């Protein structure tokens, strides 16, 4: 089973001719509501990949919260660990101009009240893969990682958005998922001054005895361990929108691990899923299903050793 502890947001997407300047009001035709939040997206990605998924986090007692909970249930996700409180559901107004430039304001809301202590200990056994990101209070992540590791669960931390991770927390991480910028930032915060992403990933893997998964955009992805690692190429697609590609990658990587696949094969499936997520507009709308990945898997060669 996969247990995702993370954020749930409602995105309000507004198209307009130009972005407002300070003090300016810009009228646009309307807005579209889209489910978001990295935890939410990764839970849906893993569920569509065929995994049994439970979501832990926090929503408000409001219409946005009702909608997000219903959407997760519609994906077959267990929402019994999502708390409902007085803080409003997380929300992200997103303004996009005619040239595709945007600005985004994220109101954390209920996400800032997410409490890992509400997760029962029996959910953290050896059959669980715990997946975390960085859009809930970081101290809650570190506490959950320690509990999960002690209970025998596997752990996957996606350091997005990038932030410093304490050394003690990294000692509780089995899989550290980062993009090429985040790999360098996490390493430098720990005194590892490697400027090249895979070198930084290798240093993190050696120091903390973990596997570091690095997404490399159009250059594919790599999984680096203390002993070596693997590299995969991306699936060649016509890119429409890269929103959610990272979440598709992480969710599918987690689902493949949960299904018992070797890390290098999980990397390959995740690479295909991340590429497919770029072929449609939106984060969750573009997340592929297991059959979609199966159909395109032959388009990506097997992982090669680093």
Catalytic: which of 11, 247, 258, 294?
247
Residue whose entry in the numeric block shows the structure tokens 């060669």: 301
Active site (annotated) includes residue 247 = yes
Active-site residue set: 247
């Amino acid at each position: 089973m996969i247990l995702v502890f993370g954020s749930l947001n409602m995105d309000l997407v507004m198209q307009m001719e130009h972005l407002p300047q300070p003090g300016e009001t810009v009228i646009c035709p309307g807005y579209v509501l889209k489910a978001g939040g990295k935890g939410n997206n990764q839970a849906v990605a893993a569920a569509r990949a065929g995994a049994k998924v439970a979501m832990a986090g926090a929503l408000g007692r409001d219409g946005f919260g009702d909608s997000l909970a219903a959407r997760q249930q519609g994906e077959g996700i267990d929402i019994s660990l999502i708390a409902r409180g007085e803080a409003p559901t997380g929300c992200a107004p997103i303004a996009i101009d005619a040239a595709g430039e945007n600005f985004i304001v994220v109101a954390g809301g209920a996400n800032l009240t997410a409490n890992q202590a509400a997760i029962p200990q029996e959910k953290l056994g050896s059959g669980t893969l715990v997946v975390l990101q960085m859009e809930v209070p970081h101290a809650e992540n570190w506490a959950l990682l320690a509990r999960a590791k002690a209970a025998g669960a596997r752990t996957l931390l996606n350091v997005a958005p990038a932030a410093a991770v304490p050394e003690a927390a990294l000692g509780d991480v089995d899989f550290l998922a980062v993009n090429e910028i985040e790999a360098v930032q996490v390493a430098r915060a720990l005194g590892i001054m490697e400027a090249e992403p895979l070198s930084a990933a290798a240093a993190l893997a050696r120091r903390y005895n973990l596997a570091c998964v690095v997404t490399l955009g159009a250059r594919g992805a790599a999984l680096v361990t203390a002993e070596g690692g693997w590299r995969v190429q991306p699936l060649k697609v016509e890119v429409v929108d890269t929103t959610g590609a990272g979440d598709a990658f992480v969710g599918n990587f987690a689902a493949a691990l949960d299904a018992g696949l070797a890390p290098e094969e999980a990397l390959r499936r995740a690479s295909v899923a991340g590429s497919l997520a770029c072929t449609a507009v939106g984060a969750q709308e573009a997340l592929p299903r297991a059959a979609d990945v199966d159909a395109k898997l032959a388009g990506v060669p097997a992982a090669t050793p680093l």
